[in-house]
Structure 1
Amino acid sequence: MILLTPELRDQLRANDQARCDALRRGDPAPDPAPVVRFFNPVGAATWLATELDEDGILFGVADLGFGCPELGSFALEELESIPLPFGLRIERDILFEGKFPLSVYAQAARSAGSLIEGERILYKAAAAATGDA
């Protein structure tokens, strides 16, 4: 699977450019919703990304499954080159839609000790608030 379609790449690059422009103007950096989620199909690692710079470095939340998800940068090339059992590779969640700003996902993940559990809590709370629970 190709991890980034041209459309996803364009959205990630636009977010990176918006952040750079805001910082150049002295404005606070934007806090966009994640554009893409990557995951290990045979493990607990999960990544959400909001930006991609010109060098192929993504920015977002990384959770390698050790109980300490964090905001940071990670290389697209490294995600693409991780060998997994049975010939599998890191995958992109084709159904993912970022519903909250990245900072909300990051805080929920840190509080829960897991990005996946943090997302579950966020979506349950959002559903309860709208009466969809």
Structure 2
Amino acid sequence: MVLLRRVIGDALRARRQGQHRTLREVSTAANVSLGYLSEIERGQKEASSELLAAICEALGARLSEVLGEVSDTLLLAEEMENVLVPVEEKQHKVAREGDVSVSVRQESPLKATLHATRKPPQREVVYAA
């Protein structure tokens, strides 16, 4: 089963790390405890819509952008053969599309762990001569 909180956490972490920012910096800007933000990023806690909006604002992102990334990741995971159905044995699958990589580990017939990674956007550097 794909956990939405895990995919959201992966998207938030990728944004933060892409900006080379620490948990402390983002937690302070979003007015959320560092420990709670860490749990959200690891998919251990569900963020309320208000908290998610505050974290997105602290990251300089629109909520719709982050949720769009989450939606793209879920779509890619759903398209992987047999990811969302029970299986008899442990399996590990990886899919890539553009900047998104989704890894699914089937741990038991009804438990799968989805891990999504997204390449950070490349910054264009312009040098003046």
TM over 0.5: no
Q: Aligning the two structures, in what range does the TM-score lie when normalised by the shorter sequence?
A: under 0.3
For CA contacts below 8 A with separation 6 or more, give which structure has more relative contact order: 2
Per the normalisation by structure 1, the TM-score is: 0.27
Per the normalisation by structure 2, the TM-score is: 0.27
